[in-house]
Amino acid sequence: MFSGAQISLYPMTDDFVDVILGAIGALEPYRSNFRIETDDISTLIVGPPEQIFPAMRDLFLAASRRGVHCVLAATVSRGCPGEPDDPICTPVAGSNHDQPLQARIVAAVGHVEATPRTGQVVAAQFSLYPLGSGHHMDEIYGCIDFLKASGVFDRSKNFCTKLRGDAGPVFATLSEAFLRFGAPQGHVALDLKVSANSPSKA
């Protein structure tokens, strides 16, 4: 298994350098479990799929809590056949793909409901791509059913789904979508944008 994300952070402030560099420090608790590489475009994190979204949440919270408009853009992937297996990427634990789709939806909703709140409201839009042959549309429709029951569903948009709410449940919802839908050892990709403190509330 290979799992990770390319993440870019965009603070809308003249002080963007300090915001970005300060936020990168929020990844320190994850360094023992991740390979982290930063360049002038993005930060790569490679590691356990269950910790990818908590790491992104903490990074984004560290930036957005300064009160400036921040956007996080990420491409997240697990099981890419073009990447070698990496020992730091543990198998997806607790995805329960031996369970029927409806049981996975119920489990995902329960996990989101139990997630602590952070006090930071965010909006997110994302697209999930369970790649490969098979019943991928069943997985997508199941994921949509989960999103509508997650408590942070805002609306469907062209090519993506919009979420809104506290950062804790929003990032938990994104993680559950990534982990529980699509083949457990198949290639699943997710394209993501998250915004906080936007001057536009629509």
pLDDT given for residue 138 in this prediction: 85
* Range of lowest pLDDT (52-56, 103-107, 181-185): 181-185
Query: How is 25-37 classified by DSSP, letter by letter?
Result: GGGGGGTTT-EEE
Using pLDDT thresholds of 50, 70 and 90, give the confidence band for residue 60: very high
Position 202 in a domain: no
Position 166 in a domain: yes
Across 122-143, average pLDDT: 87
The CATH number for 94's domain is 3.30.70.930
Position 37 in a domain: yes
CA–CA dist 56, 74 (Å, integer): 9
pLDDT given for residue 2 in this prediction: 82
Characterize 11-42 residue by residue with b for buried, 16 or more Cβ atoms within 10 angstroms of its Cβ, and e for exposed: bebeeeeebbeebbebbeebeebbebeeeeeb
Position 154 in a domain: yes
pLDDT tens profile 70-87 = 999 999 999 887 776 766
Residue 77, domain extent:
3-196
Total number of domains constituting the chain: 1
The yes-or-no verdict on residue 202 having pLDDT over 60 is no
pLDDT tens profile 179-192 = 999 877 788 999 99
pLDDT given for residue 89 in this prediction: 73
Position 109 in a domain: yes
The yes-or-no verdict on residue 143 having pLDDT over 90 is yes
Residues 6+ away with beta carbon under 8 Å from 45: 4, 5, 7, 27, 30, 34, 35, 36, 52, 55, 56
Position 128 in a domain: yes
The 3 state secondary structure assigned to 76-128 is EEECCCCCCCCCCCCCCCCCCCCCCHHHHHHHHHHHHHCCCCCCCEEEEEEEE
pTM: 0.92
Extract the tokens encoding 38: 């930063």
